[in-house]
Structures are given as structure tokens and as C-alpha cells.
Amino acid sequence: MSRILFLFTCALCFLSQISIAQQTKKEKKISDSLSTIEAFKNTGDDSFYPGGDLKLSKNIHDKLSFTTEQIKSLAQGNLMANLTIERDSTISSIYLIKDPGNGWKDECIMILKSLKFSPKKMRGIPIRSDLIIEVPITAIRK
């Protein structure tokens, strides 16, 4: 009887060790998956134009050239573009989502390529990112 009790106690201890080991493996998997999720969380600063949106709009307006006909008719349009901002603050690609019209398309692309944006940062390190901007344009005298 004492042998059976001893074997039963040993088996119980052995099985409890296996279940503890399995628990720690599950907990490790959960902690690994949580750290992976944390790595992909947006923990950085987004791309932006230094000085803000108003300064961006003003710089685009200042660099655009308006014909006298456009000024007389108060030509208007909206520029909406998707910009790819590189780590060195340059713009590598521009996709116009909405053409401003009035013949300003090519000029707007040239102006946007000349601008420098602050790149997105992930944990303090600049990374490549996309930024969508929208700028209303009205032909006025300078």
C-alpha cells in the first residue's frame, strides 16, 4: 500500500511539473506576440510640413504664377496629393488625387518637389512614409 501511495505521489509531482512547463511556454508565446504587436504600433511622430498647414498653403500660393485671366475670373481649385516622404525629408513620388485644374497641375508638382517635409519618426528614427495633403487654391494678385 505504501508503495502504491509513493508511486501515486511521484506521478502526481511529475505531471504537475509538465503542466507548469507547458504554462510557461504558453505565457512565453503570449509575451512574444505582445512584443511583436508593440513593435508595429505607431509610436512615432507623423510627417508634417515645418510651420504647419497654413505655411504650406501660403508657400504654394506664393510660388504659383497666375495669369491675368485667372485673376480676373478668380479661378479656384483644390490640390489633393499623396506624397512619399523619404528619410532625408525629400519627396520621392507625388500622386495627384485631385487636380487643381486651371492648368496648375505641372506647376503644383514642381512646387511640391521643391518643398521639404519633416519625415515620420518611429522611436526617434526617421522612416519613409506617405502623407496626403489638401490645399485650396484661389488666383489672387500678389
CATH of the domain at 126: 3.30.2420.10
Domain interval for residue 65: 53-138
107-122 per-position pLDDT tens digit: 888 999 999 999 999 8
Residues 93 and 132 in one domain: yes
Residues of the chain with pLDDT under 70: 1-44, 142
How far, in Å, CA of 110 to CA of 65, rounded?
12
Residue 133: inside a domain, yes or no?
Answer: yes
* C-alpha 53 chain-centroid distance: 17
Residue 48: inside a domain, yes or no?
Answer: no
Q: What secondary structure letter does DSSP report for 65?
A: -
pLDDT at 29: 55
Residues 59 and 125 in one domain: yes
C-alpha cell at 76: 479656384
Residue 78: inside a domain, yes or no?
Answer: yes
Specify whether the CB–CB gap between 116 and 89 falls below 8 A. yes
Residues 77 and 117 in one domain: yes
56-75 per-position pLDDT tens digit: 888 888 888 888 888 787 88
Domain total of the chain? 2
